[in-house]
Amino acid sequence: MKDISVATHLKSLTPSLNQTQPKNNSGFGDMLSDAIKETNDTQLKADQAVSDLATGKADNIHEVMLSMEEADISMRMLVQMRNKVVDAYQEIIRMQV
Residue 7 lies in a domain: no
Better-predicted residue by pLDDT, 25 or 45: 45
Q: In which band, very low, low, confident or very high, does the pLDDT at 97 lie, cut at 50, 70 and 90?
A: confident
Considering its fold, how many domains does the chain have in total? 1
pLDDT at 4: 54
The residue segments making up the domain with residue 34 are: 26-94
Domain membership of residue 67 (yes or no) is yes
Residue 22 has pLDDT above 70, yes or no: no
Task: Render pLDDT for 30-79 as a digit per residue (tens, 0 to 9).
Answer: 988 999 999 999 999 999 999 999 999 988 999 999 999 999 999 999 99
Q: What is the pTM of this model?
A: 0.66
Per-residue pLDDT at 20: 47
User: For residues 1 and 68, what is the distance between their CA atoms, to the nearest angstrom?
Assistant: 67
| pLDDT at 29 (0 to 100) | 87
Structural domain contains residue 70: yes
